[in-house]
Structure 1
Amino acid sequence: MERISDGSVADSAAAVVARLTAALDEVTARTQRVLVGEIADLRGDTQLVQLLRDNVAANIDTVFSAIRHGIPVEHVEAPTAALEYARRLAQRNVPANALVRAYRLGHQEVLKILLEEIRTAELDASRRLDVFDEILAVTFRYIDWITQQVLSTYQQEYDRWQQSRNRLQADEIRIVLAGNDEVDVDAASMALRYPLRRTHLALVLWCENSDDDTLAVMERYVHEYAAAVDAGEHALFVPADRLTGWAWIPVTEQSAPLPPHPVLRVAAGRPLPGVAGFRRSHRQAQLTRTVMLSADSHLPVSAAESGVLLAGLAGHDLDEARTWVAEVLGPLASSTDSDERLRETLRVFLCAGSSFKGAAARLHLHFNSVKYRVGRAVERRGRPITEDRLDVEVALLLCHRFGAAVLGD
């Protein structure tokens, strides 16, 4: 073993690193094996693995050059391969944490190799510690600096890529929603990364106020719900604007109730199959949203709930709906608390097949109380409900769904 000069500690550190520079390929390969073995997210295709190797080699060569030539870390330029690797991980949705871990574990492995080299050098014990301390200080500063550089690059690329991907997804989704019968289902599924041949539950999500995290909150809600219903495949989420998101979740024919959220408002269609179901469930969710907006409802509402879609169709012209409700219900369409109780009792009574007993069970009231309220409701209306029962049921439904929006004073 050639003896290392007994000059300054920096000279000795430079000599150690110079000897390892000659074995850069071996140092790179050993470090890469550790990273791929420890971090599953880095086990990509051949192209990505090759770029990882170039990234490792470039970083090691850069920091070794800084030590050999006494270059301050702040004067070093980030390797092109390091920045490109960060961009590529962002494009593939590999978590930023995997990138940070790669630098930490890579630093640890390179330090092990350097320590092995120092131990074989002909230096006294004290000088060995000083040399290792010198190398440790420089490499730590480099890792701290380069990590900031690559994370900044990663985030910029992630934001750009997500915006671009969202635009492409939105364009593809609008093509599917347009109802073009010539849509290539398999090609569209691949473009959207979503199984269009499955049964779909469409959601429309929105909030009143926006901040930088609003769309992320929506997307998180969608994926948490998808996990809760065991969707088995990735849900599809795309921003419609800065306050609104559209989503589709591959489900079975039945799905769990949507959980309430303190900020978001959520409207759902019915679970429906295939491309036609993808479109129809979305239209249903839009109609459901119309109902929620008109009724100022903040709890999630599904199109599967009785009367929601019918109310949604009427909700496009609430002024006309209000006039019609007043014509059908007469004084019963007033906004007083007592008339509201009478309307709700009459509505449930009719839904129960005009059964006083059935309505009493649903309303948790005594049989006679239901009978009395139904009689009072008919009196308030001013005429029997036998001849235009369907109109009465629809008018009561609109009152139930829209409340004050379709009621008189």
Structure 2
Amino acid sequence: MIERGAGDSVADSAAAVVTRLVAKLDEVTARTQAVLMEEVADLRGDAQLVQLMRDNVAANIDTVFSAIRHGIPVEHVEAPTAALEYARRLAQRDVAANALVRAYRIGHQEVLKILLEEIRAAELDPQRRLDVFDEILAVTFRYIDWISQQVLTIYQDEHDRWQQSRNHLRAAEIRGVLAGDDDIDVDAVAAALRYPLRAHHLALVLWCEESAEQDELTVLERHVHEYAAAVGARDRALFVSADRLTGWAWIPLESDRGIPPPDTANPSVNLAAGQPLPGVDGFRRSHRQAQLVRAVLTAAGTGAARAVSAAEPGLMLAGLAGGNLAEARVWVHEVLGPLASADARDERLRETLRVFLRAGQSFTAAAGELHLHFNSVKYRVARAIERRGRPIAADVLDVEVALLLCHWYGDAILRS
């Protein structure tokens, strides 16, 4: 029991309580660690990580106990080495920072319970017990607030460094696959990337404008994982930054069936998607398709963010034809004449004629797709041919391709 002398201060009584627990540090540590393992599932790692957690818990408890016993101001305390190393290790394993913060809060609560039990067991009058608990609560709270800031800074620095290093390694592996090397060890690369290269692959290229309010790459990666969930990915999507505002991604699928088109749920994200294709060759080809889609969207320069798939009819052809946009522009004007103007009326006529030709020159089918009356389609088709200045029967394929380029490139290929 604690003997209280006439001159004992509250701090002295608090130190005496803590001193009794120092001899039971292993027991206090084990009890606190058990609660953390139960309450914070993200901290249940392998034996090495669990041992490091124990060292971290023990070091923090010993440090705060020493501050109480010897009256050391929290701001003069040094962060335990084990605490800093544990934060680094969690960052390296992609354990969320929130789990680390929760661990300190829950651990603090458990240690306070143990301290309160010891205070109740001490021979102190009720008021002194309250004063001692208040003193210990104040010191431990200041310590938790201080150490949390220390470990979070270490965590974030390590997380950024580790992610950057891992991203470089991942990018090198991915570029090796995209280079078309037939000698790659598919299973070894898949293990290194933690991505199933033998699956069907839906490749994405994403990009956005620079923002002072958010981390662009984080926004892009989040969008990838949301889309992956929407299409029923069989495993975690693979994401790598191509630059500060651009990301490449692959979503593994069981097959190429039933894939919903990409959307623009995030108005700041542009998304170009390939088509789902199997195996390593599909990994490469789907990515090339996505890059071609991006080239079309970038050349069109519509301003508003878009999400477009290579599965769109005629888009791949438009991408190939747009390799020399200046020559394509001249050719489109030669084929369509005055119909290739940026006027809104000509745009309606072009779109009607494009759908009509794609529908096998069926007025009925075109009317159904455009939600127009049969006679309205017939009138617009006739008016479009009149605007062109000559019939389309002799070069209908050229006309269809020229209309396709106008549809995808818009003002970038039209006459103002």
TM-score by shorter chain over 0.5: yes
Q: 1:145 deviation in Å?
A: 0.9
Unaligned regions of 5+ residues in structure 2, if any? none
Q: 1:5 deviation in Å?
A: 5.3
1:259 matched to which residue of 2? 263
In 1, the alpha carbon distance for the partners of 2:393 and 2:272 equals 35
User: For structure 1, which segment, 369-378 or 179-188, has the greater mean C-alpha deviation from structure 2 after superposition?
Assistant: 369-378
Match of 1:249 among 225, 235, 251: 251
Q: Secondary structure at the match of 1:54?
A: helix
1:399 and 1:406 in contact (8 A); partners too:
yes
1:227-246 mapped onto 2 (5 Å cutoff): 227-246=229-248
In 1, the alpha carbon distance for the partners of 2:231 and 2:108 equals 42
1:305 matched to which residue of 2? 312
1:396-407 mapped onto 2 (5 Å cutoff): 396-407=403-414
| Residues 341-395 of structure 1: CA deviation (Å, up to 9, x unaligned) | 2222221111111111111222222222222322232333333322322211111
1:44-193 mapped onto 2 (5 Å cutoff): 44-193=45-194
Q: 1:332 deviation in Å?
A: 2.5
Match of 1:317 among 317, 324, 349: 324
1:86 and 1:153 in contact (8 A); partners too:
yes
Q: In structure 1, give the amino acid aligned to 2:294.
A: R
User: For structure 1, which segment, 163-172 or 369-378, has the greater mean C-alpha deviation from structure 2 after superposition?
Assistant: 369-378
The percent of aligned pairs where both chains have the same amino acid is 74
Match of 1:341 among 348, 351, 370: 348
2:40 and 2:103 in contact (8 A); partners too:
yes
Q: Secondary structure at the match of 1:94?
A: coil
| Residues 172-211 of structure 1: CA deviation (Å, up to 9, x unaligned) | 1111111111122222122212221111111111123343
2:208 and 2:245 in contact (8 A); partners too:
yes
Q: 1:333 deviation in Å?
A: 2.2
Q: Secondary structure at the match of 1:202?
A: strand
Q: Secondary structure at the match of 1:98?
A: helix
Work out the number of aligned pairs and report it: 409
Q: In structure 2, give the amino acid aligned to 1:369.
A: S
In 2, the alpha carbon distance for the partners of 1:352 and 1:20 equals 84
Match of 1:213 among 206, 215, 230: 215
User: For structure 1, which segment, 207-216 or 306-315, has the greater mean C-alpha deviation from structure 2 after superposition?
Assistant: 207-216
Q: 1:289 deviation in Å?
A: 0.7
User: For structure 1, which segment, 155-164 or 76-85, has the greater mean C-alpha deviation from structure 2 after superposition?
Assistant: 155-164
1:372-391 mapped onto 2 (5 Å cutoff): 372-391=379-398
Match of 1:295 among 293, 296, 300: 300
Unaligned regions of 5+ residues in structure 1, if any? none
RMSD: 1.6
Match of 1:272 among 270, 277, 296: 277
Q: 1:17 deviation in Å?
A: 1.2
2:199 and 2:278 in contact (8 A); partners too:
yes
Q: In structure 2, give the amino acid aligned to 1:287.
A: L
In 1, the alpha carbon distance for the partners of 2:137 and 2:152 equals 22
Matched, 1:284 2:285: no
1:24-43 mapped onto 2 (5 Å cutoff): 24-43=25-44
1:4 and 1:121 in contact (8 A); partners too:
no
User: If the length of structure 2 is used for normalisation, what is the TM-score?
Assistant: 0.94
In 1, the alpha carbon distance for the partners of 2:5 and 2:114 equals 20
Kindly tell me: are residues 132 and 335 of structure 1, through their superposed partners in 2, closer, same or farther at Cα, counting changes over 3 Å? Answer: closer
